[in-house]
Chain A
Amino acid sequence: MAKRLLIVDDALIMRKRIKEIAQQAGWEVAGEAADGAEALQKHQELRPDLTTMDIVMPKMDGVAALRAVREQDASAQVVMVSAVDQREKLAECVRLGAIDFIVKPFDPANLLKFFEKIGRAPGAGIGGRQA
């Protein structure tokens, strides 16, 4: 059964790119969100196996959304995908429980490998979640 992904980014073109790569790696894209508030709502609704999270977004940024999602669901798996590449911001995301941090612009081949790796991780879903 395909693992389910929630893609969070305010740029349509970025959501499209991530979706194409994730699908290539065998993931099902369960949903998309364009800001942190929508991300929180969709995460609760969809219970994805993985969420990709942009940082710079309107209404609620990705770090705040990461914190809120993890507070709501301690087993939530979130990977940050952002052009902000500053040490303290990365450290903050790790502290808040992000499983990884992918800097934009990413190499599509590397993102593909990432999705394949996480997709192969044991369990019906990461953290024992039912797909």
Chain B
Amino acid sequence: MLTERQLDALTTVFREGAQDASLACSRWVGRSVEIAVQRVEQLDMADAVAVLGASEEPITSCIMAIEGRLTGGLILAFDDASGWALTDLLLELPLGSCSAWGELERSAVLETTNIVGCAYLNSLSRLLQRLDEPPELMPSPPQFARDYASAILQSAFLNQVMSSDTIFLTETRFHLDGAPANWNLLFVPDAESIPVLQRMLT
């Protein structure tokens, strides 16, 4: 369990990653993408699965596993409207053009996850380097899942849940100017990585 002070300190640690991720996303999309929310949370597992919304409607998500000094999962989640708006922008189509998840649309959100996720990891890697820790953090190829939000999160939390009833995660919500695009980037470290994060604070 992390203390309030540690949670606050970790929010600062992850801020750089969140900023780098929004910058990378802005460059990729060709429009200003801003951080609406950036925080670090420790929630009871029953509440943690509601972090992407308590609705029973499916959401779209792309998930990457992380290997290296820190392990865990990175999830970029969004509703259909936000996902298709992103795809419209990336394909230089008028907003409202994409309305299904074909190969091209999926590749657009998957590549966005790759770019945004790597920017986040690149930042964490530089931090590890400054702390004389092995810096390499490599993601797996992202996977696409359109499913109930809490079902997706149950799987993302499985590692932590095996040793705890509370879930630690970082959350960054992005907003894209002029488009219905609200995306949520979650970093869910494995249980073994939480002490590593704590050591980063000392």
Contact = CB atoms under 8 A, between A and B. Distances in A.
B170 to A, nearest CB: 19
Interface in A30-88: 56-58, 82-88
- Interface size band for A: 20 to 34
Interface in B88-112: 90-91, 103-104, 107-108, 110-111
A11 B129 CA distance: 30
Nearest to B27: A105
B24 interface: yes
A86 B125 CA distance: 7
A120 interface: no
Contacts of B27: 105, 107
Interface residues of B, number: 27
Interface stretch (B49-57, B76-84, B133-141, B190-198): B133-141
B135 A88 contact: yes
Contacts of A16: 104
B28 A56 contact: no
A89 B141 contact: no
Interface of A: 10-14, 16, 56-58, 82-89, 104-105, 107
B5 to A, nearest CB: 30
Contact of A83 (B104, B108, B115): B115
Q: Is chain B's binding surface mostly helix, strand, loop or mixed?
A: helix
A12 B103 contact: yes
B22 interface: no
A12 to B, nearest CB: 4
Interface in B112-160: 114-115, 117-119, 121-122, 125, 129, 135-141
Contacts of B111: 11, 13-14
Nearest to A15: B107
Contacts of A84: 118, 121-122, 138-139
B107 A87 contact: no
13 contacts: A10-B141, A12-B104, A13-B91, A13-B104, A58-B141, A83-B119, A85-B118, A85-B119, A85-B122, A87-B135, A88-B135, A104-B28, A105-B24
A13 B136 contact: no
B24 A83 contact: yes
Interface in B24-78: 24, 27-28
